[in-house]
Amino acid sequence: MTSDSSPESLAGTQQVGPPESPPDVELRMPADSAYVSVLRTTTAGLAARLDFTIDDIEDLRIAVGEASAMVLPEADPGSDLVCRFHMSPGRLTVSVTVSVSEPPDPDYDSFAWQVLTTLATEASADAEDGGFTVTMTMISDLAGAGL
């Protein structure tokens, strides 16, 4: 994580480590694409609670869908999709994790990754310790405007 967390300094950043503190919200569901709509709706609700703009909320919904598209094909059969949300004023970090037997190499050339890194302020993919995690942070446009 960068020490300067101003929106200007994060705009070009694409790598972010997992947050150190426990999540504010954790959601666990079967690792099945049928449940991605639940994750997208939860993300939108939390972003709205943080007063994100409608455009930011929609960007987050799309980004979370793309993160799911990256991790779900790698999930072990019968495993869970675990989503952790870290919230602070004007900032939402979402980590999407599945259990994996063999850590995959994240496909940084995939369409999903390209969309995700375009929409999120920061993004990273991590495959170790029996899990595959995609983490993204969005800083609200309102936070950048000083509102």
pLDDT in tens, 121-132: 999 999 988 999
What's the confidence (pLDDT) of residue 7?
37
Q: Give rounded-to-5 percent helix, strand, coil for the chain.
A: 35, 25, 35
The alpha carbon of residue 93 and the mean position of all alpha carbons in its chain are separated, in whole angstroms, by 6
> pLDDT of 6-38, one tens digit each?
333 333 333 344 456 888 999 999 999 999 999
Tell me the three state secondary structure of residue 37: helix
What is the tens place of the pLDDT at every residue in 74-111?
999 999 999 999 999 999 999 999 999 998 999 999 99
Question: How far are the Cα atoms of 14, 55, 63, 94, 147 from residue 84, in angstroms, in the given order?
Answer: 19, 22, 14, 6, 26
In a domain, 13, yes or no: no
Q: What is the CATH number of the domain that holds 42?
A: 3.30.565.10
Based on the structure, what is the number of domains in the chain?
1
Global pTM value:
0.82
Q: Is 49 inside a domain boundary? A: yes
**Structural domain of residue 92, as residue ranges?**
32-144
From the number of C-beta atoms within 10 Å of its C-beta (0-12, 13-18, 19+), residue 11 rates as exposed
